[in-house]
Amino acid sequence: MAITRRDFLKSVAGGSLLIAAQGLPAEASMPKELPPEAVGILYDATLCIGCKSCMVNCKVFNSVVDGGLYTEGMTSPPYEPFREFEMWDAGTDLTEKTLNVIKVYKSGKGINKDQVEDGYSFIKIHCLHCISPACVSVCPVAALKKDPINGVVYYEENRCIGCRYCQLACPFRIPKYEWSKTSPQVRKCQLCRHRYKEGKYSACCEFCPTGASIFGKVVDLKKEAERRLTLKAQTEYDFPVQTVDSKYRISRPVSQYINHIYGLNEVGGTQYLLLAGVPFHLLGFDKNLTDVHLPDLTWAYISKIPSVIAGILIGGAATWAITKNLTKNKDKDKGV
């Protein structure tokens, strides 16, 4: 059944009313401190072997009910063939089907691990779970939220109106949108929060064979990262595997780190911390990001361009209305 002009206008008005009722995002309520029980991930690029077990298991364990990639009726993880190799699932960047990606830096001959000259390094990219998340601060209907206890930045699909303002606001370009679907959602890492009730944690850490990705409380991850930076290169160290407090440890020589814990201060701090042997701007991170809590900046910007925001919100409401109508009509046609 076709959508009539009257239906369309009614729906847009409904979407706009929803926005009006919720009001614009309240930057003043954004947290500025790490929640005491905040959990996160420490990724140490010097331990990463680029096996992509974290990517595979991220997909598998997020394609179940409540997972970050799950859609009703899903029976297998969303597949991204690499060029003509239809048998491989191999996302090369974050997409609506890939919440976590391993990338590689290479210079010159690319033979020296974790070094700039003639070197290479892996880097693991996913949502950083900012302490003061710009995506949350700009969402007009609170579809993105930050858990006040564990600090995870998560998504409630039923609230989302598809305005995609979170995509524009994120300084790391993390949220992706399901452009090809009639009922699209925003997709991003939710730190595997659906697994916590079973006593489990981030799949990317559980299945990382080297301890390059470890899960834990952010205060402990920070201490672990700081400890590693005090170690002399080539001394032996017992690196924990899976979780920061794990008894399972792998002993190996410490690599030469650059003296920087990425995420400790950037954009006011994040719950994903990173160590590497190569400067982070060479690994794809923006050199010009400030240590300021981004919602302070985004709000200053937003407040100066109300017409743009209104356009985006109304556009989002229209998209939401159209997709809701399409889905409703499809269901009617099927007799659901």
Residues near ligand SF4 (CB under 6 A) are 48-54, 58, 62, 68, 99-100, 102, 122, 124, 126-130, 133-135, 153, 170, 172, 174-175, 188-192, 202-204, 208, 210, 212-213
**Residue whose CB is less far from ligand SF4, 9 or 292:** 292
Two structure tokens written together for 287: 């050199």
CA–CA gap between residue 58 and residue 322 (Å, rounded): 32
**Residue whose CB is less far from ligand SF4, 11 or 242:** 242
Q: How far is the CB of 213 from ligand SF4 (least distance, A)?
A: 4
Q: What are the residues facing 112 on neighbouring strands? A: 119
Cα–Cα distances in Å, from 46 out to 84, 205, 253, 303?
32, 15, 10, 42
**Residue whose CB is less far from ligand SF4, 160 or 208:** 208
For residue 324, the number of C-alpha atoms closer than 13 Å in the C-beta half-sphere is: 19
Q: How far is the CB of 38 from ligand SF4 (least distance, A)?
A: 12
Q: How far is the CB of 117 from ligand SF4 (least distance, A)?
A: 22
- Exposure string over 255-280, b if 16+ CB within 10 A, otherwise e: bebbebbbbeebbbbbbbbbbbbbeb
**Residue whose CB is less far from ligand SF4, 16 or 46:** 46
Q: How far is the CB of 267 from ligand SF4 (least distance, A)?
A: 7
Q: How far is the CB of 218 from ligand SF4 (least distance, A)?
A: 14
**Residue whose CB is less far from ligand SF4, 12 or 153:** 153
Phi, psi torsion values for 240, nearest 5 degrees: -70, 150
Question: Which DSSP string corresponds to 33-59?
Answer: S--TT-EEEEEETTT-----HHHHHHH
Q: Can you tell me which residue has the tokens 């077990």?
A: 53
Q: How far is the CB of 238 from ligand SF4 (least distance, A)?
A: 17
Phi, psi torsion values for 60, nearest 5 degrees: -60, -50
**Residue whose CB is less far from ligand SF4, 295 or 321:** 295
